[in-house]
Amino acid sequence: MHETTPSATLSPVEIHLGERSYNIVIGGGLLGSLDSYAGLPHAKTALIVTNETVAPLYLQTLADALKGQYPVVGQVVLPDGEVYKTWATLNLIFDALLEQGCDRRTVLFALGGGVVGDMTGFAAASYMRGVPFVQVPTTLLAQVDSSVGGKTGINHPLGKNMIGAFYQPQRVICDLDTLKTLPERELSAGLAEVIKYGPIADAVFLDWIESNLDKLRARDPVALAFAIRRSCEIKAHVVGADEREAGLRAILNFGHTFGHAIEAGMGYGQWLHGEAVGCGMVMAARLSQRLGLIDAAYVDRLTRLIERAGLPVVAPVLDALDNAGRYLALMRVDKKVEAGEIKFVLIDGSGRAIVRSAPDSVVTEVIQASCRQ
């Protein structure tokens, strides 16, 4: 671990959504800095939503900083884990909002990874039909992806993120220092979503990730800051062009059609989201190759990078008797499905993604070639 994190805040990344526009602030030491939280219109009280792992690390620092801005700063500490991204946990947030007398002038602060961020955003979208919220992401995955773009929600046993709302935060505050305490496995999970942006949107960034992966895994602060900023720029551009996924935004789902099937099929939390997406990108690349969009060398290149990031590249068997059938059934619950037809995010090797269906027979071949049997 390097000692120094860039202390100067980088210039914010702006996400342009008309009256819902906001900034993504990236830098070291932001959690305790009053400047990060200033200027939220109409907000009078704050409620921090976090979990039992993040609370002992960062709750006090954030609460102390917010006390300089808000006369009342409440908190609610949720159980930790993807398995708790449920109605029951969401209700704990609503219980806290009501018990602590929160009203329409309350702003929620989501302090944690993507699970806390997605649930806090959904609670903010629903409480009193909508209160403001701020994302304070503390995992790499949340800083490069989940805190940006306004997809909020919870899982259903039959499908990932199946219940939710598009609801944008007022601001995103990425404190790079929080990544110092992130477990290795979680850092790798975050790298999956960083890698994702290369094949779908920026071939030069993919080259850069390949050259700098060792630095990223060693948590070199300059490399991490660049990767987070570039990832946020790409996501901000895509979301700015297609906020509610009418078309372009689906490219951010590269690796997720297979990945979400792995998460739901294994049971949430067995594989981390980033792990499932990493392996799902290998499967989507193989499908792209079988459909003639890329060559074997590109599949090998991406597979090698994902493996180097510490992510699984061999898919799990979800059903000993009918594995491909189980994958297909799970993928039919995907939000991109239209009239029963699964849409896959495929790549053409030039830093561009294509969203289209594929014959079940070809998808079955890919699943069989990807799973350890």
Ligand X SMILES: NC(=O)c1ccc[n+]([C@@H]2O[C@H](COP(=O)([O-])OP(=O)(O)OC[C@H]3O[C@@H](n4cnc5c(N)ncnc54)[C@H](O)[C@@H]3O)[C@@H](O)[C@H]2O)c1
Catalytic positions:
129, 151, 193, 235, 245, 249, 253, 256, 260, 273
Is 27 near ligand X (CB under 6 A)?
A: no
Is 5 near ligand X (CB under 6 A)?
A: no
Pairs from 240-246 (Cβ < 8 Å, separation ≥ 24): 240/15, 240/16, 240/17, 243/17, 243/20, 243/149, 243/150, 243/166, 243/168, 244/166, 245/335
What distance in Å separates the CA atoms of residue 31 and residue 173, rounded to the nearest whole number? 8
Which of 72/337 has CB closer to ligand LNCXM5UN? 337
> Which of 12, 132, 149, 198 is in the footprint of ligand X by CB under 6 A?
149
Going by C-alpha positions, the residue among 255, 225, 259, 253 that lies closest to residue 239 is 253
State the minimum distance, in angstroms, from the CB of residue 98 to ligand LNCXM5UN.
Answer: 27
Is 161 near ligand X (CB under 6 A)?
A: yes
Select the binding partner of residue 80 from ligand X, ligand LNCXM5UN, none (C-beta < 5 to 8 A, by kind): ligand X
> Which of 5, 9, 53, 188 is in the footprint of ligand X by CB under 6 A?
53
Is 233 near ligand LNCXM5UN (CB under 6 A)?
A: no
Is 28 near ligand X (CB under 6 A)?
A: no
State the minimum distance, in angstroms, from the CB of residue 353 to ligand X.
Answer: 16
Rule CB under 6 A: which of 119-148 touch ligand LNCXM5UN?
145
Which of 65/311 has CB closer to ligand LNCXM5UN? 311
Only one residue has tokens 């079955």, namely 364
Q: Residue with the closest Cβ to ligand LNCXM5UN?
A: 161
Q: How many CA atoms lie within 13 A of 354 on its CB side?
A: 16
Which residues of this protein are in contact with ligand LNCXM5UN, per CB under 6 A?
Answer: 145, 149, 151, 160-161, 193, 245, 249, 252-253, 256, 335
Residue ranges for the known binding site for Zn(2+) are 193, 256, 273
